[in-house]
A and B are shown apart, each in its own frame.
Chain A
Amino acid sequence: MSVVLDLITIAAVSAGVVFFLAGTVGLLRFPDTLTRLHALTKADNLGLGLVVLGLLPQVGSLRDGLKMICVWLLVLLAGATVSQLVAQAARRDGPGSDGAAP
């Protein structure tokens, strides 16, 4: 049983790390603000979600597991809001400032 749980952890955390890596590469390589935001939010939402999912089988108590899920939900909320605000600012400042697309 514990082997199965460990395998789930390894698979999910690895998948999460892949999303973080892909998001970071996108953040560095994509041409303008909106596409960079697109890459970044994937890393936050899916990457952290998969890492939390992978760590759930390893927690000692229900409380710790709920805490980790809460952390993920709060990051989702903060990430979604901040990316909306950055996108609004990029749109307001228009193209030409920091290479942002309209």
Chain B
Amino acid sequence: MTIVPALDLFVAGIVLIVAVWTVAARDTMSAVVGFVAYGLLLALVWVRLGAPDVALTEAAIGSGLAGALLIGAATRLRAGEPSVSTERLGGAGRVLAMTLSAVVAAAVAVVLLSLPDPAPSLASEAAANAGVTSLGNPVTNVLMAFRAMDTMLEKVVLLLALLGVWSMARDHAWGGRPRSCRRADPEGPLVLLARVLPPVGVVLGISVLWVSADHPGGAFQGATILAAMWLLVLMAGLGDVPAAGGRRLRLVLVAGPAVFLTVGLGGLALGAAFLSYPPAWAKPVILVIEFAMVLTVATTLGLLVAGPPERSAER
């Protein structure tokens, strides 16, 4: 066996081990740490499979952002944890759970193994028509042009998720600000990082969006980096989360889907169909949508991690 397949097998094995360890971990926080490590290893697997766009998404969202959300959840649950972890499943319950898991795993395996070979794919068609948008990255082509409808609805789903988080607020805090972070030492390392890193992160986030025209990257990955920079500033206490009822914040939140929808309806009125772009203007139109989207997505992701409003809008 040559060295490269051996390394691939090694990484795949570690992914499986970390996955099992994450499920088996008793302590919630340990499970979260396992999940983050699992996501990063999975990103490596995607790179090895030749899907750097998916790898970036997995690392930024599956591991980074979901990790931050889960750490927040684990911290909130910590108070009630001892009482929950002493509840153990009985013998019959365990057998039932194991049987159910085995059946699901077997069903997935059967479906995967009975897929036609070669699998039905639109990849060749997407590659053949890549020229119409003058974008070099086929993944961006699919996300922003061929299947733009899915991407637009994805943004709406993200807004619905934020509404779900906001609706956890108590009545007096409705439209207010999330719980403030613990005051960081103004001379401490976190504040220093929150001052030094954001300029780098903002440039990086925008560049990940910009290069996605021809190279791996994208609006979602760039937005995640921007959201991370915002959260860093918030955690260091250098800024406050805007009140959920604020008009400017709400304008930013609807900007992405609104621009997308406007372009879509424009395509319906002037062009061939909903979300059809004029061929000569495809790239500028896509860029306008992506920049509006990146603003909305970054803000939404940051607010999702910040949590439901707990303080009234007045300071």
| A residues adjacent to B (C-beta < 8 A) | 74, 77-78, 80-81, 84-85, 88
| B residues adjacent to A (C-beta < 8 A) | 188-190, 192-193, 196-197, 200
CA separation between A74 and B196, bound complex, in Å?
Answer: 10
Contact A77 B197 (CB under 8 A): yes
Question: Smallest distance from the beta carbon of A90 to chain B beta carbons, Å?
Answer: 14
Question: Smallest distance from the beta carbon of A62 to chain B beta carbons, Å?
Answer: 17
Contact A84 B200 (CB under 8 A): no
Instruction: Considering the complex, give the chain A residue whose CB is closest to the CB of B201.
Output: A74
Identify A85's interface contact among B190, B196, B200, CB under 8 A: B190
For the complex with contacts A84-B189, A85-B190, A88-B188, 8 further pairs of A-B residues with Cβ separation under 8 Å are A74-B200, A77-B196, A77-B197, A80-B189, A81-B190, A81-B193, A84-B188, A85-B189
Question: Smallest distance from the beta carbon of B224 to chain A beta carbons, Å?
Answer: 16
CA separation between A84 and B189, bound complex, in Å?
Answer: 7
Determine chain B's interface SS by DSSP, over half rule.
helix
* Chain B contacts for A74, CB-based, 8 A: 200
* Chain A contacts for B192, CB-based, 8 A: 81
CA separation between A74 and B193, bound complex, in Å?
Answer: 11
CA separation between A74 and B188, bound complex, in Å?
Answer: 18
CA separation between A73 and B23, bound complex, in Å?
Answer: 35
Instruction: Considering the complex, give the chain A residue whose CB is closest to the CB of B184.
Output: A85
Question: Smallest distance from the beta carbon of B214 to chain A beta carbons, Å?
Answer: 15
A-B contact pairs, 15 of them (CB 8 A): A74-B200, A77-B193, A77-B196, A77-B197, A78-B193, A80-B189, A81-B189, A81-B190, A81-B192, A81-B193, A84-B188, A84-B189, A85-B189, A85-B190, A88-B188
* Chain B contacts for A85, CB-based, 8 A: 189-190
Instruction: Considering the complex, give the chain B residue whose CB is closest to the CB of A87.
Output: B189
CA separation between A88 and B187, bound complex, in Å?
Answer: 13
Instruction: Considering the complex, give the chain B residue whose CB is closest to the CB of A83.
Output: B189
Question: Smallest distance from the beta carbon of A22 to chain B beta carbons, Å?
Answer: 20
Instruction: Considering the complex, give the chain A residue whose CB is closest to the CB of B197.
Output: A77
CA separation between A80 and B190, bound complex, in Å?
Answer: 10
CA separation between A77 and B192, bound complex, in Å?
Answer: 10
Closest 5 CB pairs of A and B: A84-B189, A81-B193, A81-B189, A85-B190, A85-B189
Question: Smallest distance from the beta carbon of B79 to chain A beta carbons, Å?
Answer: 16
CA separation between A68 and B65, bound complex, in Å?
Answer: 24
* Chain A contacts for B190, CB-based, 8 A: 81, 85
Among A77, A78, A81, A88, the one with the most B-chain Cβ atoms within 10 Å of its Cβ is A81
Question: Smallest distance from the beta carbon of A87 to chain B beta carbons, Å?
Answer: 9
CA separation between A81 and B197, bound complex, in Å?
Answer: 11
Question: Smallest distance from the beta carbon of A57 to chain B beta carbons, Å?
Answer: 21
Question: Smallest distance from the beta carbon of B220 to chain A beta carbons, Å?
Answer: 21
* Chain A contacts for B200, CB-based, 8 A: 74
* Chain B contacts for A88, CB-based, 8 A: 188
